[in-house]
A and B are shown apart, each in its own frame.
Chain A
């Protein structure tokens, strides 16, 4: 039986910020189901890869979404084609209420408000609260909720558990697991426990290039490999 077509294909992607090359030559595919993790040491270009795919930074190379080239499109057009984005550091609009943050993200005629409300009941209670006054975990819920409101073809999720308390990490991971049932996710994540729990496949980036791809658990179970590529031992996270 042939492999299903990937939902996202990235070929020879390079990206730069203010003239500084941050992604050298990245090539990988993201399957149409489940969660694929992007791993690597700090500063190797994981976040820049996601931002390059979205056109948020200057980039070159080919990016194909479900067979359609999107690398020549403006960011809002890429998103309109079904690419949801959960940025590093949440990036909620602090001066807008929770309801306004969510309303702003609604693109579909019938946004999935009930699905989001079931995943994040706390946000329903805090609809009128300014997003800037929420805790880090609550802001992350707003950020994830914004991406889940629409029927996307893929979500690009960047370090969703960064800086969160362990209990909140669990809640965010559970929400992503639930979300992955309806949409494939490309996940940048430093917390290897979360990766082990959520991701089926993994892509490892080093020095702006993909240096390894494969099954996430297989990579994390290979202590020598994780130590060499990620600079940490996965054992300590188990």
Chain B
């Protein structure tokens, strides 16, 4: 029983991390039809800068942890905004070129990060509580998973409120359905593009700082590894569906954890197999709109 609780809760925690990365990817694709391969770079840069901030403030305190999270979100938002304005916007409606430029940026960013911070992973530390565990029905759950779950729940709640209660949120929801019609109502949808990139970058930035604590290290490849799973959950959830991304994140991560424990470490294989099944049976994803 305790092992099932452990797998389930760590799966949900890992899913929370996937969601933090996938939420931005999903919103960006939904509105702009851009598969943003540079999303992992937003995450990695935020993690490195967040780590530098935490180091300067003292890694053991909760204050520095929270400040590093905030800085990570801001760095992710700024990096993403600049990417949209400088690289994506000039290639408006040229989707293949947009994909290629984000792929190029992701490679260039990794090389740049390695040049600045080196090719070796840097071990990180945080508040002592993060290294501990909490007992749930006999299962000792690492505390980092609780932080991931809380952060993802707050980000999901914040995004839902933003999308439902603000005019920009309404424009984004409408744009995901029919971007041309939004412009035909006299709305400059490009402002929403920048905003969506900034929001996605901020969520990825928070994810980057938390991923660093989850893995206990940061490296130039941190974002690339997570990006693969974020893309998988985005596709399984349905491109453009925030709820779909949330559901798929948890589903994929829990399945991955169970497969790793009970099917001889085949978690990654099972996830890719699930992706293939979803693409064959339901190409629009669990909660995506049919083309």
Please give the residue numbers on chain A whose beta carbons come within 8 Å of chain B beta carbons, in ascending order: 54, 56, 74-76, 79-80, 85, 87, 91, 93-96, 100, 103-105, 107, 146, 150
Q: Could you tell me if A87 and B187 are in contact, using CB atoms closer than 8 angstroms?
A: no
Partner of A105, one of B177, B180, B185: B185
Q: Could you tell me if B173 and A87 are in contact, using CB atoms closer than 8 angstroms?
A: no
Enumerate chain B residues within 8 angstroms of A74, measured Cβ to Cβ: 183, 188
Enumerate chain A residues within 8 angstroms of B167, measured Cβ to Cβ: 103-104
The verdict on B57 contacting chain A, using a C-beta distance below 8 Å, is: no
Contacts A100-B170, A103-B170 hold; do A76 and B177 have CB atoms under 8 A apart?
no
A105-B183 Cα distance, complex, nearest whole Å: 10
Q: Could you tell me if A76 and B174 are in contact, using CB atoms closer than 8 angstroms?
A: no
Instruction: Please report the total number of B residues contacting A with Cβ < 8 Å.
Output: 17
The verdict on B189 contacting chain A, using a C-beta distance below 8 Å, is: yes
Q: Could you tell me if A94 and B185 are in contact, using CB atoms closer than 8 angstroms?
A: no
Q: Could you tell me if A75 and B173 are in contact, using CB atoms closer than 8 angstroms?
A: no
3 residue pairs, one from A and one from B, having the closest CB atoms: A79-B186, A75-B183, A93-B174
Partner of B178, one of A91, A103, A105, A107: A91
> Which residue from chain B places its CB closest to the CB of A79 in the assembled complex?
B186
B178, B183, B184: residue with the most chain A Cβ atoms closer than 10 Å: B184
Enumerate chain A residues within 8 angstroms of B171, measured Cβ to Cβ: 104
Give min CB distance, B147 to chain A, whole Å: 32
Give min CB distance, B219 to chain A, whole Å: 40
Please give the residue numbers on chain B whose beta carbons come within 8 Å of chain A beta carbons, in ascending order: 167, 170-171, 173-174, 177-178, 180-189
Contacts A95-B173, A96-B173, A104-B171 hold; do A56 and B185 have CB atoms under 8 A apart?
no
Give min CB distance, A198 to chain B, whole Å: 22
Enumerate chain A residues within 8 angstroms of B187, measured Cβ to Cβ: 76, 104
Contacts A93-B173, A93-B174, A96-B174 hold; do A87 and B181 have CB atoms under 8 A apart?
yes
Partner of A76, one of B170, B173, B189: B189
Partner of A94, one of B170, B177, B180, B186: B177
Q: Could you tell me if B184 and A79 are in contact, using CB atoms closer than 8 angstroms?
A: yes
Q: Could you tell me if B185 and A79 are in contact, using CB atoms closer than 8 angstroms?
A: yes
A87-B185 Cα distance, complex, nearest whole Å: 11
Enumerate chain A residues within 8 angstroms of B184, measured Cβ to Cβ: 54, 56, 75-76, 79, 85, 87
Enumerate chain A residues within 8 angstroms of B182, measured Cβ to Cβ: 104
Partner of B170, one of A75, A80, A104: A104
Enumerate chain A residues within 8 angstroms of B177, measured Cβ to Cβ: 93-96
18 contacts between A and B (CB under 8 A): A75-B180, A76-B183, A76-B189, A79-B185, A80-B186, A87-B181, A87-B184, A93-B173, A93-B174, A94-B177, A95-B173, A100-B170, A103-B170, A104-B170, A104-B171, A104-B174, A105-B186, A107-B185
Enumerate chain B residues within 8 angstroms of A146, measured Cβ to Cβ: 185
Enumerate chain A residues within 8 angstroms of B186, measured Cβ to Cβ: 76, 79-80, 105, 107, 150
Enumerate chain B residues within 8 angstroms of A87, measured Cβ to Cβ: 181, 184
Q: Could you tell me if B170 and A56 are in contact, using CB atoms closer than 8 angstroms?
A: no
Give min CB distance, A81 to chain B, whole Å: 9
Give min CB distance, B177 to chain A, whole Å: 5
Enumerate chain B residues within 8 angstroms of A79, measured Cβ to Cβ: 183-186
Enumerate chain B residues within 8 angstroms of A80, measured Cβ to Cβ: 186
Q: Could you tell me if B181 and A93 are in contact, using CB atoms closer than 8 angstroms?
A: yes
Give min CB distance, A139 to chain B, whole Å: 13
A71-B57 Cα distance, complex, nearest whole Å: 56
Given A76-B185, A100-B170, A104-B171, 20 other A-B residues pairs in contact with their CB atoms under 8 A = A54-B184, A56-B183, A56-B184, A76-B186, A76-B188, A79-B184, A79-B186, A87-B181, A91-B178, A93-B173, A93-B174, A93-B181, A95-B173, A96-B177, A103-B167, A104-B167, A104-B170, A104-B174, A104-B182, A104-B187
Give min CB distance, B227 to chain A, whole Å: 28
Give min CB distance, B163 to chain A, whole Å: 10
Enumerate chain A residues within 8 angstroms of B189, measured Cβ to Cβ: 76
Enumerate chain A residues within 8 angstroms of B170, measured Cβ to Cβ: 96, 100, 103-104
> Which residue from chain B places its CB closest to the CB of A55 in the assembled complex?
B183
> Which residue from chain B places its CB closest to the CB of A78 in the assembled complex?
B186
Give min CB distance, B254 to chain A, whole Å: 28
A93-B186 Cα distance, complex, nearest whole Å: 15
A130-B189 Cα distance, complex, nearest whole Å: 22
> Which residue from chain B places its CB closest to the CB of A107 in the assembled complex?
B186
A74-B187 Cα distance, complex, nearest whole Å: 10
Enumerate chain B residues within 8 angstroms of A103, measured Cβ to Cβ: 167, 170
A173-B183 Cα distance, complex, nearest whole Å: 26
Give min CB distance, A217 to chain B, whole Å: 31
> Which residue from chain B places its CB closest to the CB of A57 in the assembled complex?
B180
Give min CB distance, A95 to chain B, whole Å: 6
A80, A93, A96: residue with the most chain B Cβ atoms closer than 10 Å: A93
